[in-house]
Chain A
């Protein structure tokens, strides 16, 4: 659980998480935007199905993998959130078609 500092400034960005409308700040990475929106788990692992969420926030751990605009296994912490972006949490292995 994270919350935004009250005086954190920035432009609002509208995007979707699993089809639901969400808002972020323009400097947010996708991973930060998910955390800001109270998303607690961004994927289930392809090995055991265990839930995972961002761990390192700097491109190292690959636990923030999500599907962004229909492309699977994107490192959410390395992609800036953009207006209209469609972010989807992942369940297990990536599908070949997306």
Chain B
């Protein structure tokens, strides 16, 4: 770990593919660059633990995973400073970064900031999803990558999306057991996705994806067209109830239930910084509004990778390089023409990496019943608020998530809406009969991750800031 300089030309937040690629390019081109990351090792979630996984057999995690090592090597040689274990809890409009390392907070100024905060799993609120033994498929994948841990006993995977199938494939490669996959991909998605099939067929994903799907389907029982899910158990999950189509409810024993229905941008830091955001109907999530270089509405703040809309790991690294080139231009190192010229190969690679995205977005778009849960389902895990409570608040005249916050504490817990925001927005939109675009999203404020009061108290204070409190 490097000691931090007092300030940097460029600070990159998040050491996944976008952040690694951005920091590498910027440092190679002479910017004083720091890469700040909450994790202890580079890779983000997609390449989590790529430098130190205990799973040494390369065929378990697959070649796409090991590509992450190709990003870490050049980063280490780039001259960029690297600060793992650094939680960024604030980015101000004046480009001061509030960060916390080893229990000590500080403010780090930068001339340009690239947020590469990546994606989180889309919350999957079903009855019983708060029970121990129910977790995200992404969480299970992290346990596999970092610790070589796999679920045992009766293991059920449920949901939709590429990551679900990838995890199943990795589990099978690792020799782990999966009882059944409950596929919630809505039937009609296939029909809607067909027009995008052509582009997908020309993408690099199709052959790989098909092979993976076939291998999983050959070895695991897959129950398709699942329309309802419920986890049950006394103190922890013991069984999964599901319905196929409009059939009768079935029960499966389960010690572990792994849920997944896609990923969405991790927008909390961008939102708290004040970056404008918009509703993406195709990906059904709020995304920060960015231009072709990842620049946001806040001067000096860009976003690269999935944090600015889901594009996948390969796209993320190209988006990282584009954002870095734009930062070089904005900081006066590259003129516009040079930036554009140097960006051309990365843009081409990005276009190629994004080919077929519409097909995946459409095919794996989660069904409404799983986005807009039934009354008894908990939507806010922190404050334990149910969908019914949100609907009742709408009946009182609440029109958006900031008011449900005041009425129900929904979104006020430590996760700051990450696990409830998308659902609350969908429930309000459904109850009001309007688009989520009209409903809006939480207005977030720093700290976006908890810091201790003592850490907060230790920060530098300007005279007028002290006067605002003490001289009244």
Contacts and interface: CB of A to CB of B under 8 A. Distances in A.
A and B touch in the complex (CB under 8 A): yes
Interface of A: 1-5, 7-10, 25, 27-29, 32, 35-36, 40-41, 45, 47-48, 50-63, 65, 73, 77-78, 80
A40 B234 CA distance: 12
B143 A61 contact: no
Given A3-B149, A51-B236, A78 B256 contact: no
A60 B149 contact: no
Given A41-B236, A58-B120, A61-B418, A1 B255 contact: yes
6 contacts: A5-B148, A9-B54, A27-B146, A40-B133, A55-B381, A62-B415
A58 B52 contact: no
Contacts of A63: 130, 381
Contacts of B120: 56, 58, 60
B139 A2 contact: no
B436 interface: no
A41 B236 CA distance: 8
B150 A3 contact: yes
B235 interface: yes
B413 interface: yes
Contacts of B39: 78
B418 A58 contact: no
Contact of A5 (B136, B174, B415, B450): B174
B235 A41 contact: yes
For the complex of A and B, the 3 pairs showing the least CB-CB separation, nearest first, are A8-B148, A53-B132, A57-B139
A65 B413 CA distance: 13
Interface string B118-137: 00110000000011111110
Nearest to A2: B149
A18 to B, nearest CB: 16
Contacts of B456: none
A29 B143 CA distance: 9
B419 interface: yes
A8 B382 contact: no
Contacts of A7: 56-57, 148
Given A8-B54, A41-B235, A28 B418 contact: no
Contact of A52 (B45, B130, B138): B130
Interface in B233-274: 235-236, 255-256, 266
A45 B55 contact: no
Nearest to A6: B175
B132 A40 contact: yes
Contacts of B130: 50, 52, 55, 63
Nearest to B45: A58
B383 interface: yes
Contacts of B140: 57
A8 B133 contact: no
Interface string B160-203: 00000000000000111000000000000000000000000000
Interface string B30-46: 00000000111000010
B384 A36 contact: no
A58 B139 contact: yes
Contacts of A25: 54, 147-148
B38 A36 contact: no
A56 B139 contact: yes
B143 A57 contact: yes
A2 B151 contact: yes
Contact of A61 (B38, B142, B415): B415
A47 B383 CA distance: 6
A52 B131 CA distance: 6
Contacts of B148: 4-5, 7-10, 25
A78 B38 contact: yes
A5 B150 contact: yes
B52, B148, B450 interface centre (most CB from chain A within 10 Å): B148
B120 to A, nearest CB: 5
B73 interface: no
Contact of A1 (B52, B153, B381): B153
A10 B54 CA distance: 6
A56 B135 CA distance: 6
Nearest to A63: B381
